Chain A
Amino acid sequence: AQKVTQAQTEISVVEKEDVTLDCVYETRDTTYYLFWYKQPPSGELVFLIRRNSFDEQNEISGRYSWNFQKSTSSFNFTITASQVVDSAVYFCALSEARYGGATNKLIFGTGTLLAVQP
């Protein structure tokens, strides 16, 4: 069965600090996809990144970076020089690959509430 664990319920940092959000997943499939979404106080979910299980390269996008380690089943997310606008709930999610018209479900972790203080 699929499972996504975000052990950090809440994190509080001061602006300009770096912060890492942890994500550990479980799946029996060899092909799967991992996602990070941001949910600001307004409620909508904003897509940040998708990574497939065959691509272990780390990715950097501006102040955001992701570290994917299959050996530890982790897909951690780091925000460098955090800003107040980064305050939100961040969700890690897992989707097992299905093809040929089958519907892929997105399973979410419990989320990490990040509060960036000015």
Chain B
Amino acid sequence: GAVVSQHPSRVICKSGTSVKIECRSLDFQATTMFWYRQFPKQSLMLMATSNEGSKATYEQGVEKDKFLINHASLTLSTLTVTSAHPEDSSFYICSARGTDEGDNSPLHFGNGTRLTVT
């Protein structure tokens, strides 16, 4: 159980275009989802926390107008990278916590999306 599906797994786009990444909890409802970014050989950096039905909370230094997060339902959160540039190329990973899980329960992670901006 507790499967998180992230789509697409890989995407290549041209500079200036926008890319949407979906994160779905397949067999549970997730009130809270987290979006992380991982540079090659580096750690996962928390970008933002999204709660169903409310605005996302962004970490310091993350541009909310560039990385649009929508958490419209208890099973879906989306991250849209707007006007992508080569420096946005990275590995993006979403994670989710079930509505019936404790505040400190382990997160369930998606398989990540490799974004390459040319």
A residues in contact (CB < 8 Å) with B: 33, 35, 37, 42-45, 47, 50, 52, 91, 95, 97-99, 101-111, 113
- Judging by beta carbons under 8 Å apart, are A106 and B34 in contact? yes
Q: Which B residues lie within 8 Å of A35 (CB)?
A: 106
- Judging by beta carbons under 8 Å apart, are B42 and A110 in contact? yes
Q: Which B residues lie within 8 Å of A105 (CB)?
A: 34, 46, 49
Q: Which A residues lie within 8 Å of B43 (CB)?
A: 91, 108-111
Residue from the set B34, B107, B111, B114 with the largest chain A CB neighbour count within 10 Å: B107
B residues in contact (CB < 8 Å) with A: 32, 34, 41-46, 49, 51, 57, 91, 93, 95, 103-112, 114
- A59 vs B51: C-alpha distance when bound (angstroms): 33
- A98 vs B97: C-alpha distance when bound (angstroms): 14
- A110 vs B43: C-alpha distance when bound (angstroms): 4
- A44 vs B57: C-alpha distance when bound (angstroms): 24
Given A108-B44, A110-B43, answer yes or no on A103-B104 (Cβ-Cβ < 8 Å): no
Given A35-B106, A98-B103, A111-B43, answer yes or no on A42-B111 (Cβ-Cβ < 8 Å): yes
Given A97-B104, A110-B43, answer yes or no on A43-B112 (Cβ-Cβ < 8 Å): yes
- A73 vs B11: C-alpha distance when bound (angstroms): 40
Q: Which B residues lie within 8 Å of A106 (CB)?
A: 34, 46, 95, 107
Q: Which B residues lie within 8 Å of A103 (CB)?
A: 32, 49, 51, 57, 103
- A33 vs B106: C-alpha distance when bound (angstroms): 10
